[in-house]
């Protein structure tokens, strides 16, 4: 009888253990199901947003093309204005498609990386050359403060150029023509290399400073304002910088301009050097 009682007690303990395991597994399955529902919702939101963003330039292209087709006698100046809009919207559509594909590759881990030791000074100089026309077109001043000697970083050079071009383009986009000023700085403490892009634009409210790093989100967007970009440049830039062990952040306030900065670990840490400022350069 004692043996049988002991066996019953042992079975009871086993059943209790199995019951706890089943309850834990059920909780895990429930949590996994909730995550799948959330991912499904995010996928639907993403598809909906992409569709909306694609439709906007396509609507403009179609509308102005129909006007040109239906009005062969349209004034030459008006025709030229409509053609310019069609070209600009086509370019915006192309950028959007390329960025969506780029983002999809980054998030799925299928992006191709060509990693080497990179001099951020030359990356900045090449990016400034690429965006020079934007600065000249809006008569925006550009100042560089690049330390003459900073450690190399291990990264994909083309991807870093992509990040810098995005930051410079954003800075030019939001400053006043003729009165806009942009400062690009490069410095290092020996362990990390830091890049800062500062503008004297309208600034970004505190509540918007994380929003701008979300896909298809832009600070100050309204239903009546035409967006000044695709809303993908900063999310892509942040993913690129984080892929190489760095951080991309913003410091700003309404009416106080904005500073976008990122740090990357040095490929071979060296003793800290004092950053040396370069004379101002006009773009």
pLDDT of residue 275: 43
Q: What are the structure tokens assigned to 252, written together?
A: 């700003």
pLDDT of residue 255: 82
The answer to which of 101-110, 111-120, 148-157 has the lowest mean pLDDT is 101-110
Say if residue 99 is in the same domain as residue 59: yes
Say if residue 167 is in the same domain as residue 208: yes
- Domain assignment present for 210: yes
- Domain assignment present for 276: no
What's the average model confidence in pLDDT over 177-200? 94
pLDDT of residue 43: 66
Predicted confidence band of residue 276 (pLDDT cuts 50, 70, 90) = very low
What's the average model confidence in pLDDT over 178-205? 93
Say if residue 132 is in the same domain as residue 17: no
Neighbours of 274 (CB within 10 A): 8
Q: Distance between CA 28 and CA 103 in Å, rounded?
A: 30
Residue ending a domain, among 90, 108, 126, is 108
pLDDT in tens, 104-115: 788 778 888 899
- Domain assignment present for 196: yes
What's the average model confidence in pLDDT over 180-204? 93
CATH number, domain of 231, equals: 3.30.565.10
Say if residue 82 is in the same domain as residue 176: no
Which residue is it, tokens 């023509």? 177
CA 275 to chain centre: 27
Say if residue 26 is in the same domain as residue 65: yes
pLDDT of residue 46: 64
Q: Distance between CA 34 and CA 31 in Å, rounded?
A: 5
- Domain assignment present for 1: no
Residue ending a domain, among 65, 88, 108, is 108
Which residue is it, tokens 């919702």? 41
- Per the CB < 8 A criterion, the answer to whether 181 and 199 are in contact is yes
Predicted confidence band of residue 219 (pLDDT cuts 50, 70, 90) = low
Tell me the three state secondary structure of residue 273: coil
In order, the DSSP letters of 28-85 are HHHHHHHHHHHHHHHHHHHHHHHHHHHHHHHHHHHHHHHHHHH-TT--HHHHHHHHHH
- Domain assignment present for 5: no
What's the average model confidence in pLDDT over 192-212? 88
CATH number, domain of 58, equals: 1.10.287.130
Say if residue 128 is in the same domain as residue 198: yes
Residue ending a domain, among 85, 108, 131, is 108
Q: Pairing between strand 141-146 and 181-188? A: parallel
The answer to which of 84-88, 157-161, 225-229 has the lowest mean pLDDT is 225-229
Say if residue 69 is in the same domain as residue 125: no
The answer to which of 151-155, 171-175, 211-215, 250-254 has the lowest mean pLDDT is 211-215
User: Is the pLDDT higher at 156 or at 15?
Assistant: 156
Predicted confidence band of residue 269 (pLDDT cuts 50, 70, 90) = low
- Domain assignment present for 2: no
pLDDT of residue 272: 43
Say if residue 40 is in the same domain as residue 81: yes
Say if residue 79 is in the same domain as residue 186: no
Pick from 261, 259, 235: which is nearest to 248 by CA?
261
pLDDT of residue 44: 66
- Domain assignment present for 74: yes
Say if residue 121 is in the same domain as residue 213: yes
Residue 81 has pLDDT above 80, yes or no: yes
Q: Pairing between strand 181-188 and 247-252? A: unpaired
When divided into structural domains, the chain yields a total of: 2
State the average pLDDT for the chain. Answer: 83
Residue 199 has pLDDT above 50, yes or no: yes
Say if residue 225 is in the same domain as residue 120: yes
Say if residue 95 is in the same domain as residue 123: no
Q: Distance between CA 174 and CA 64 in Å, rounded?
A: 27
User: Is the pLDDT higher at 108 or at 77?
Assistant: 77
- Domain assignment present for 274: no
Q: Distance between CA 280 and CA 141 in Å, rounded?
A: 9
Domain of 225? 115-265
User: Is the pLDDT higher at 226 or at 105?
Assistant: 105
pLDDT of residue 21: 86
Residue 159 has pLDDT above 50, yes or no: yes
The answer to which of 108-112, 136-140, 149-153, 157-161 has the lowest mean pLDDT is 108-112
């Amino acid at each position: 009888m004692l043996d049988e009682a002991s066996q019953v007690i042992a079975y009871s303990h086993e059943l209790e253990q199995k019951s706890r395991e089943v309850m834990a597994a059920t909780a895990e399955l429930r949590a996994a199901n909730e995550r799948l529902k959330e991912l499904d919702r995010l996928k639907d939101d993403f598809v909906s947003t992409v569709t909306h963003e694609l439709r906007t330039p396509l609507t403009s292209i179609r509308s102005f093309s129909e006007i040109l087709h239906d009005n062969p006698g349209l004034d030459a100046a008006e025709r030229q204005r409509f053609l310019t809009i069609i070209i600009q919207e086509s370019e915006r559509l192309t950028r959007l498609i390329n960025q969506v594909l780029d983002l999809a590759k980054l998030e799925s881990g299928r992006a191709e990386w060509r990693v080497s030791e990179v001099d951020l000074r030359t990356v900045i100089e090449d990016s400034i050359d690429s965006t020079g026309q934007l600065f000249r077109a809006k008569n925006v001043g550009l100042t560089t403060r690049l330390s003459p000697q900073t450690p190399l970083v291990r990264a994909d050079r083309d991807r870093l150029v992509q990040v810098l071009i995005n930051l410079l383009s954003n800075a030019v986009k939001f400053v006043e023509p003729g009165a806009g000023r942009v400062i690009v700085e490069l410095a290092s403490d020996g362990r990390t290399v830091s890049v800062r892009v500062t503008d004297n634009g309208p600034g970004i409210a505190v509540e918007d400073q994380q929003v701008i790093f979300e896909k298809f989100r832009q600070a100050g967007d309204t239903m009546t304002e035409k967006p000044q970009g695709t809303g993908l440049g900063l999310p892509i830039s942040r993913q690129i910088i984080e892929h190489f062990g760095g951080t991309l952040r913003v410091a700003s306030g309404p009416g106080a301009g904005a500073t976008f900065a990122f740090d990357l670990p040095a490929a071979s840490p060296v003793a800290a050097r004092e950053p040396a400022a370069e004379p101002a350069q006009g773009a």
